[in-house]
Amino acid sequence: MTLKTLSIHVAAEFQKHYGRAPRWIVAAPGRVNVIGEHTDYNDGFVLPMAIERYAIMAADSAAAPGKISIYDTQFKESTSVDVSAPVTKGEPKWSNYIRGVLAGFQKRGVTIPALDIAFMSTVPLGGGLSSSAALEVCTATLMEAATGKAIDPIEKALLAQKAEHDFAGVPCGIMDQFISALGREGHLLLLDCRTRQTQLVPMSDPSVELLVVNTNVKHELGSGEYAKRRAECESAAKILGVASLRDATADQLEKAKGKMSEVVYRRARHVIGEIERTTHAAEGIRNSNWPAVGNLMYASHAALRDDYEVSCKELDVVVEIAEDIGYQGGVYGCRMTGGGFGGCCVALVKASDIAAISKKIAADYHMKTGIEATIFASRPAAGATIIKG
């Protein structure tokens, strides 16, 4: 659904629920990380793209002061938040993403206006495409529209990240909120997780698109393994005598190989290689060198599978099918994206072959795993926008 169609839908839902037309409509996208996995907590680079899937809110000032009413059009669930006092955590669970952002604005000295809100989202929930950041950044954008005061997009992203930390209890990095707030149509975002510097990387060639393939599995060993990987990276950095793996080179690692366990060596090899692959991929995208970008994506997947050991059978199956289709069939590259142990793969594909590629991946994935994948294509979408206001 295009953003325009989506805004018509959410406006109609608002009208139905509150009996009048909305004054503001705002949206913020989900994202897919094209390359740069498990690099963020090693001070490295990530290269996410905003996808054409959005959290969207329609709103108007409310008559009753000190209260925000929120209607979730998908779950047909309403809730209200008292904004006359400091906003706290509460029920239902999803309201905390919104509450956290409202609290962030209060901390900045903003008096939260009384509002009626209807919202919907086309970002799949819990699928690793950051429906949570989309919801947070969308809320922050609504606050900007309703108060008439824009805030610096980086501060906005950090405010949304803090909401996720403090109100959802998820110790996420900065990528999701940054791309949702700062994304620009036709561009990826190269983000330096050490300095928080961002660079927009143009990707305007209409002959390519990204294909997101959700394996629809989530293996539960995720969080424990994640903590282990972090510790292994810290231990590698310590042995190499650097503040973080961002500061180490592949040469340095080879020379110090004898000083660390084989596992720690492989973890570091992934991270050091992946940071390099990410900056190279940004360069390749700028030059529309799609075969080079595709190869970097395959190399990223192999390292995540063999060195970092965060892939799983289903993700590997998708990448194997993509490799089978190959360059001839319109696939340049494919890799798992996100933390791993399930979730999504992302493939770089020829736009003209999308239908055939999607069909083949769906059929072969089902044949090999017995599971239905969810597949959609996207070009780099815009970040948070005020559609009406």
Q: Interface with ligand ADP includes 197 (CB under 6 A)?
A: no
Q: Which of 127, 284, 294, 383 binds ligand ADP (CB under 6 A)?
A: 127
Would you count residue 132 as binding ligand ADP (CB under 6 A)? Answer: yes
Answer whether 66's CB lies under 8 Å from 114's CB. Answer: yes
Q: Give the nearest distance from C-beta 333 to Mg ion in angstroms.
A: 25
Q: Which stretch binds ligand ADP (CB under 6 A): 60-68, 69-77, 145-153, 315-323?
A: 69-77
Among 8, 125, 243, 371, binds ligand ADP (CB under 6 A): 125
Q: Indicate whether 337 belongs to the interface with Mg ion (CB under 5 A).
A: no
**Per annotation, catalytic residue among 116, 176, 307, 364:** 176
Q: Give the phi and the psi of residue 185 in degrees, each rounded to 5.
A: -55, 135
208-218 and 198-202 beta bridge pairing: unpaired
Contact between 71 and ligand ADP by CB under 6 A: the answer reads no
Q: Indicate whether 93 belongs to the interface with ligand ADP (CB under 6 A).
A: yes
Q: How far is the CB of 268 from ligand ADP (least distance, A)?
A: 27
Binding to ligand ADP by residue 14, rule CB under 6 A? Answer: no
Q: 290-306 and 313-325 helices cross at what angle (nearest 10)?
A: 150
Concerning whether 176 is annotated as a catalytic residue, the answer is yes
Could you say which of 86, 126, 202, 241 contacts ligand ADP (CB under 6 A)? 126
CA-CA distances (angstroms) from residue 230 to 58, 120, 172? 40, 35, 13
Q: Does 132 participate in binding Mg ion (rule CB under 5 A)?
A: yes
Tell me phi and psi for residue 21, to 5 degrees.
-80, 150
Q: Computed from CA positions of residues 289, 290, 294, 300, in that sequence, does the dihedral angle turn out positive or negative?
A: positive
Q: How far is the CB of 168 from Mg ion (least distance, A)?
A: 8
Phi, psi of 94 (to 5 degrees): -65, -20
Q: Is 214 in the site for Mg ion (CB under 5 A)?
A: no
Rounded CA-CA distance 339/61 in Å is 40
Task: Tell me how far CA of residue 97 lies from CA of 41, 152, 384, in angstroms.
Answer: 23, 20, 16
Q: List residues with catalytic annotation.
A: 176
Residues that bind Mg ion (CB under 5 A): 130, 132
